[in-house]
Amino acid sequence: MSYQALARKWRPKNLSDVVGQPHVVKALTAALDAGRIHPAYLFSGTRGVGKTTLARIIARSLNCEKGVSSNPCGLCQNCLAIVEGHFFDLIEVDGASRTKVEETKSLLENVPYAPAQGRYKVYLIDEVHMLSTHSFNALLKTLEEPPPHVIFILATTEPTRLPATVLSRCLQFYLKPVELSAIVARLTFVLEQEHFSYDLQALFGIAKAARGSLRDALSLLEHALLMSQGRLEEEAVYAITGGVPEEHVLRLLEAIIQGDAESLMQYAAEIAEFSPQYEEVLAELLSLLQKIAVLQFAPSSEAVQGVPKPLLAFAKKLSPEETQLYYQIALLGQRDLELSSHKASGFEMLLLRMLVFRPVKKDAVAVHAGTPIKTESEASSSQEALVKKWPDIVKQLKLTGMAEQLLAHATLKRKEGKTIELALSAASSPLLNERVSEQVKTALSDYFGEAINLCIMPSALENIPEASKGETPKVVWERERKTRLESDLVVQNFLETFEGKVQI
């Protein structure tokens, strides 16, 4: 059985078969049954959500020999001709390949003539946003005064690229990405009709990879069935989609939360055995972290009903700041992974980064941006005044980009002579780098009219040992960071393998 066969066989033929678009189906059913036919429809939405399928269903509903209704018979000559793709009065045009005005004009020349076979001539223009401005103008003229026997159905993935004049002539429907559960339900239905046995997790694997596109889901299903022997199993699905079973990603998260570097590397190696698409694995990791964040703030939200059980425990173990930090590292990791020539290593580095930036003490993380830092008992009133004035000073520096972000997440700890100490919330540590810190330093030096020494300390590292006499906080912090990195098992492994040393 070829892919075409399965996808075509199970393409919805009536409105009641359409999956995942209840609002559109309801409106169209009521209109067709009442005989309210609009001369132009516009279906927008991402690929594979059913735009052209709906257009063909409308063509059948309008041309069924039994009469106009939301429920065409499916048996008459017209119904069959439309399904088989040789109905004269359904004119399908791909906007992407017919962009020129001459082509649109020649298409529209036939509009005035009566239908050859059916009641209505239906013009389906797919990817209509690709038409040229002249083509749109030609189309608009027809849309302004359409003959009563002509219906236009426009389909697009990018409705914002359509001229307002065209949009205003159309009855518009937005087709949503099909929900995961609706895709799984449809796949289940198809497999049962086809008498295939299956593993439910395999269907979730397909539905996730299809990202809201029912067409992609059916295509993946077809492919996975070809690779399965007798029963559709998870392994066959992951071999095609490049994903990995969710439990593997959950295990990674658990190791990160426990700070268990050895297990983390072992689980990463197990994932590597799937030869996955690391982008897919990372997307799964991001999706789980996003769910944890929702669980932490809105546990009764519909979005987190039926999440995997371990996530409930993770949401309790992680602080919201840690969840945000890991999410941010994973998010930026998507970009870094693209640059990495060896994806498996790139992915490992990303996981290790999560451990390196792991806040050391949970209570230390609770210092938020904007929280005034208590000045020490001997602090002079001018020190207090400066802390109060700090937000105004920051505004006057007029920094932008990362430097602005950095200051938004930092608080003034003290200013002694020319040295300014800032505390940076742990979650914002990834913002800190030489260039940004240099920008802030320059801006502060300009403001105070003297060369400022800047010391920025992540607040998670505040509980560091006392400084020896004469040591600046920066020196103490760097020494502490070095000690912590050197005592990390993963880093030790790296150092041994590459005979390196930690440089701060």
Q: What residues make contact with Zn ion under the rule CB under 5 A? A: 64, 72-73, 76, 79
CB 56 to Zn ion: min, Å:
13
CB of 14 to Zn ion, least distance (A): 11
CB 83, min distance to Zn ion, A: 10
Closer to Zn ion by CB, 64 or 403: give it: 64
Instruction: Select 83 or 489, whichever has its Cβ closest to Zn ion.
Output: 83
Task: Count CB neighbours of 275 within 10 A.
Answer: 13
- DSSP state, 148? T
Please give, one letter per residue, the 3-state secondary structure of 249-316: HHHHHHHHHHCCHHHHHHHHHHHHCCCCCHHHHHHHHHHHHHHHHHHHHCCCCHHHCCCCHHHHHHHH
Q: Which is nearer to Zn ion, 77 or 396 (CB)?
A: 77
Measured distance CA(51)–CA(66) in Å, rounded: 25
Least distance (Å) from Zn ion to the CB of residue 163? 36
Which of 64, 329 has the CB closer to Zn ion?
64
User: Quick one: 59 or 217, whose CB is closer to Zn ion?
Assistant: 59
Rounded least distance, CB 119 to Zn ion, Å: 11
Least distance CB 13 / Zn ion (angstroms): 10
Contact 57, 18 (CB under 8 A): yes
Provide the minimum distance between the beta carbon of 63 and Zn ion in the complex, in angstroms, as a whole number: 8
The four Cα atoms 76, 172, 23, 302 give a dihedral, to 10 degrees, of 140
Q: Which is nearer to Zn ion, 72 or 473 (CB)?
A: 72
Q: Residue 239 has which token pair?
A: 């071999």
Q: What is the CA radius of gyration of the chain?
A: 31
Nearest to 152 by CA among 176, 175, 172, 132: 172
Q: How far is the CB of 84 from Zn ion (least distance, A)?
A: 13
Q: Is the sign of the CA dihedral 423, 425, 429, 432 positive or negative?
A: negative
CA 391-395-396 angle, 5° bins:
120
Closest distance to Zn ion from the beta carbon of 121 (Å): 17
Q: How far is the CB of 80 from Zn ion (least distance, A)?
A: 8
Work out whether the CA dihedral 423, 428, 431, 432 comes out positive or negative: positive
46/71 with CB nearer Zn ion: 71
| Cβ-based burial of 269 (10 A; exposed 0-12, middle 13-18, buried ≥19) | exposed
CB atoms within 10 A of CB 330: 22
State which residue, 66 or 231, has the beta carbon closest to Zn ion: 66
419: three-class secondary structure by DSSP: strand
CA atoms within 13 A on the CB side of 344: 12
Identify which of residues 73 and 502 has a Cβ nearer to Zn ion in the complex: 73
- By C-beta, is 67 or 500 nearer to Zn ion? 67
* Length of the chain in terms of residues written: 504
Q: Which residue carries 């509903």 as its tokens?
A: 61
